[in-house]
Amino acid sequence: MVNGARPFLRIRGVGRRFGSGPAEVTALDSVDTTINAGDFTVVLGASGSGKSTLLNIIGGMDRPTTGSVVADGTELTELSDRRLTDYRRTRVGFVFQFYNLVPNLTAVENVALAASLVMPMRDAGTLAEELLTEVGLGHRLAQFPRNLSGGEMQRVAIARALAKRPPLLLCDEPSGALDSVTGQHVLAQLQRTARDTGTAVVVVTHDSTLADAADHLIRLADGRIVTDEHEPAPALLVPPASSTAAS
Ligand SMILES: Nc1ncnc2c1ncn2[C@@H]1O[C@H](COP(=O)(O)OP(=O)(O)OP(=O)(O)O)[C@@H](O)[C@H]1O
Ligand SMILES: [Mg+2]
């Protein structure tokens, strides 16, 4: 989304250092960018370039050493630990490389458990079914994680992250543990989620083939932004037909 873009996050002069003295590492240095609602934002960079550090800061899991992060009008760097935890719990969904589903709960129960944190259980079950249907798993509701493929488990994890209807969805290497076909299915789902729901979706990856599909592409190198571009007509990711049929 470029025309009529609605900023969700304004990141200004953000730096993050770890350690001190000779052991000091600068993980992020003078990072400036704006993340819009409804954009599929892709953060590319080599290992150690600062991708996870940036995601942790905008997700309220870490604080910058310097600079400002304003989320939906709130300066995160000025929040107490408790308020920052509230921000993370209520406003941010997370999807990680490994899905971390509860093994003895079915797909729908995994999602409903997350939804029940923010709504009555009765509504949570209904929402969980809707969300799983949206990610193409309406036929897998009652399956346990052990009976699902990696891509299916990751789509359950996406549905779970969306259960609290977060305005910001952060995904760290969401296809990192998947083969390329299955990974594309997951990434197509994330791109569609941004378009359909207006969620600001941020995907961190070192898979540069994703660059063409991004509404907003950020490249990091050694903790600095080297590319920050908006693409008015990104390539649409299509779930591979074979994987849809197989899932
Ligand atoms: N808690 C920490 N303590 C010390 N150094 C850290 C810490 N977290 C990250 N770093 C360092 O900061 C730099 C950026 O790390 P980060 O995890 O953000 O990289 P990344 O781009 O996510 O890499 P990868 O693709 O391997 O996940 C690295 O040099 C890393 O070693
Ligand atoms: Mg990382």
pLDDT value at position 3? Answer: 55
For ligand 1, whether the C-beta of 48 sits within 6 Å is yes
Q: Which of 20, 49, 62, 203 to mutate to test the pocket of ligand 1 (most atoms within 8 A of CB)?
A: 49
> Percent of the chain at pLDDT above 90?
80
Query: In this structure, which amino acid lies at residue 205?
Result: T
pLDDT value at position 244? Answer: 46
Does the model's pTM come out above 0.95? no
pLDDT value at position 84? Answer: 98
State which residues of the chain have pLDDT below 70: 1-3, 241-247
Contact predicate 84/78, CB 8 Å: no
pLDDT value at position 241? Answer: 66
DSSP the chain: --TT-EEEEEEEEEEEEES-GGG-EEEEEEEEEEEEET-EEEEEE-TTSSHHHHHHHHTTSS--SEEEEEETTEEGGGS-HHHHHHHHHHHEEEE-SS----TTS-HHHHHHHHHTTTS-HHHHHHHHHHHHHHTT-GGGTT--GGGS-HHHHHHHHHHHHHTT--SEEEEESTTTTS-HHHHHHHHHHHHHHHHHH--EEEEEES-GGGGGG-SEEEEEETTEEEEEEE-SSPPPP---HHHHHH-
CA of 51 to the centre of ligand 1 (A): 8
